[in-house]
Amino acid sequence: MIQNCKSDRRRHRGLDENHGGEYAAYRNLIENFITALRTCEITPYVVLDGGFDVTDKKVETAVKRAKVRIHRSHRASETGELKNILPKLAEMVFKQTLAYQKVPVAQYIGESDQEITALAAEWQCPVLSNDSDFYIFNLPAGLLPISGFQWKEVKQSGSQSYISCRRYYTSSFCASFGLQHQLMPTFAALAGNDYVKLRGINWVQFVPAGRETSSRLEGLVCWLKKFQDPQDALEEALVLMGELSEKKKKEVLETLHLGMEFYQPCRSSLSRFFLHGAPPQFPALEEEARVPGETPCMTSKPLRQVMYGLLLGREKSAPVEELDKRDLELIRSPVEPKFTRLSERLRLSSLQEVALSDRLNVLLEALGVTEESLRLLPPQLKFPVAITCYWLQRAQPPPDRSPLKAQLLGMSNGNMRSRTALQTEQNQKPDRNVAHAFKQWQACLKDSIRLNQLLGHPLTEPDVARLYQGTLVHQLVHMIRTGGDLKTFLKSDRPSVKLYRTMLSMVLQFHAQQLSVPSKNHQKVTTDQQQKQSLKDLSTDLQQLFLVHQDEETEKEAQAAITAQEELQLEEELLVRTRYRTKERSNRCKKPELARKEECRGRDLL
């Protein structure tokens, strides 16, 4: 069985929608689905639709869908209603889960419908999908609509297990409506899709009189029944559109033919990929082509700039056009590729031949952390903590400490019972500022993982489903802000407590150190008051760490972190004093008269 998945249409019914994602529950749902298929001896092959179109015809559709998602999300944040919002990392969790389950997956760069149809014809197997385009393709083994695929109720017939489902054939559709099979692509083009936007014809008028209900598509089918040849139907449709110039008629016909060609059979390259690992050839891309996608987050923009620089190189470096969200509107935003001290020496064609240490340094340089700062962390948490450090530096507006602590608590705690104990009232309205902060963290995680993949995984890719649980972290933020007792969440898992202390100590030290040193990226100088406040916050946070489990080891760790920060601040103050005295001596050498006046003024004061 071939399963087609469109990244913007996958559903997660029954899961929380408004707190940024319940990824562990989503992963369990996917695993249960795969288990149900294998119980019935069904081998799934998954094809992910990239949605890229070299003719650029789908950009308008992609923009419209993005706008709808923006307004749905805004409405949900204001009211707490369920608006069928796909979480930011859902696609990444989906791919990772399939990989863990060893399910064969193909990610196609463009529209995969033709490739899937060809593969299904070659293998004589059905396609499981909710994509309406498959109602037009001639699939020998039929289409299994996901809406009618009862996988949660595996049934038994003797020794065999099976899943109840509905199967659709285009031949049955044509027989039911008396439509010639060769007119199915014509039906799709005249009905309209991502490529064809035909307006001006009232198809409802062709529905036979006496029907209780009527629809545009039913009227179109009734009108098409009188034709044998697709070209005759197209020319008659032009007449129904009214007076058109010859130029306009030609344009409309070309558009309709383009829409019909989409449904023509082709030869699939997916079979060789699934059976022999041979990658399919990608279509040639035009220089002006754009890849429509979700709206990015400006917090993670520098990471994407490094990635664009690696992909394009200095020779072909040009701004990349992104769709950016401003308030509730979408704007096209050019993003310049970025070349760091290390990445500018690398070339995409030979990237995998570069030493692992060099590729690691490119990633860490982009995140603004060092390998030494991560050395106390287990391998699976080095990457998430580095991302958290990056997020804490660049998030706008800067988050307070409660989202940081909640996120680290969620990352460190492996006791699922204590997690689920807190996850009540899943669909309550979230705090908008907290939701915004966590959304930025997820954007940083997503773009960092993509950069890590491009660099050949110099850091272990984290299990995304274990890193963020929306309902949990939002409730932890509430507990922290209202003085709730976190001991019930922590005390049952002592290793997680130690891991949380280590991560928080490392992140806070890193953040305080960045505040104490002038930032080249932001062109700002931290004042003494900010440094002292940072030290005060760090001392308070670290002292709170060993209140949960008071022991000598914990207290030493916290005190060592405080002492280290005090030394950093003292070193900075000494550097400032030294620079001031050096400047003062320089001025005296240049202006001896001024020096003598200051010396006299000093004696008068004494």
When pLDDT is averaged across residues 9-28 and rounded to a whole number, the result is 74
High-pLDDT (> 70) share of the chain, %? 70
Q: Locate 321 and state its tokens.
A: 């056009």
> What is the SS3 assignment for 557?
helix
Q: Which residues 6+ apart lie within 8 Å of 175 measured at CB?
A: none
Average pLDDT of the residues of the chain? 79
Using CA atoms, how far apart are residues 467 and 1, in angstroms rounded to an integer? 32
**For position 181, what pLDDT does the model report?**
93
Average of per-residue pLDDT across 448-465? 94
Please tell me whether residue 128 adopts helix, strand or coil conformation: strand
Query: Mapping DSSP to helix (H, G, I), strand (E, B) and coil, where does residue 10 land?
Result: coil
Return d(Cα 78, Cα 389) in angstroms, integer.
30
Mean pLDDT of 239-260: 88
Is residue 27 pLDDT above 90, yes or no? Answer: yes
CA nearest neighbour of 91 among 203, 14, 172, 10: 10
pLDDT tens sequence across 482-512: 887 776 676 666 777 888 888 998 898 888 8
What distance in Å separates the CA atoms of residue 65 and residue 198, rounded to the nearest whole number? 19
> H/E element holding 119?
helix 113-123
The pTM assigned to this predicted structure is 0.79
Cα dihedral 369, 371, 373, 376 in deg (nearest 10) = 140
39-92 pLDDT per residue, tens: 999 999 999 887 555 455 556 666 676 666 766 776 766 666 666 777 889 999
pLDDT in the model for residue 291: 44
Residues in the chain: 606
Report residue 217 as tokens: 């598509």
Tokens of residue 194, six digits: 């991502």
SS3 state of residue 226: coil
Q: Is the pLDDT of residue 580 over 70?
A: no
Instruction: Identify the DSSP state of 206.
Output: G
Say what the pLDDT of residue 366 is: 95
| Residue 129 and residue 4 in contact, taking contact as beta carbons nearer than 8 Å | yes
Q: Give domain 1-168's CATH number out of 1.10.1760, 3.40.720, 3.40.50, 3.60.21.
A: 3.40.50
Nearest Cα neighbor of 304 from 320, 289, 317 is: 320
Average pLDDT over residues 280-303: 65
Q: How far apart are CA 60 and CA 192, in angstroms?
A: 14
The confidence score (pLDDT) of residue 192 equals 79
**pLDDT band per the 50, 70, 90 thresholds, residue 288:** very low
pLDDT at 111: 78
Question: 436: closest CA among 475, 486, 478, 397?
Answer: 397
CA–CA separation, 587 vs 268, rounded Å?
Answer: 77
Question: Which among 13-27, 355-369, 410-424 has the top mean pLDDT?
Answer: 355-369
Question: At residue 313, does pLDDT exceed 50?
Answer: yes
pLDDT band at 276 (very low <50, low <70, confident <90, very high): confident
- Taking residues 118-139, report their average pLDDT: 93
Q: Please give the pLDDT value at position 87.
A: 86
Q: What is the pLDDT of residues 185-226, one digit of tens each?
A: 999 999 876 656 666 788 888 988 877 777 889 999 999 999
- Token pair in block for residue 193: 């899709």
Average pLDDT over residues 141-150: 95
The average pLDDT across 395-422 equals 77
Sign of the four-CA dihedral 405, 411, 417, 420:
positive
Instruction: Please name the amino acid found at residue 1.
Output: M
pLDDT of the residue at 493: 66
For the chain, domain boundaries: 1-168, 178-261, 386-577
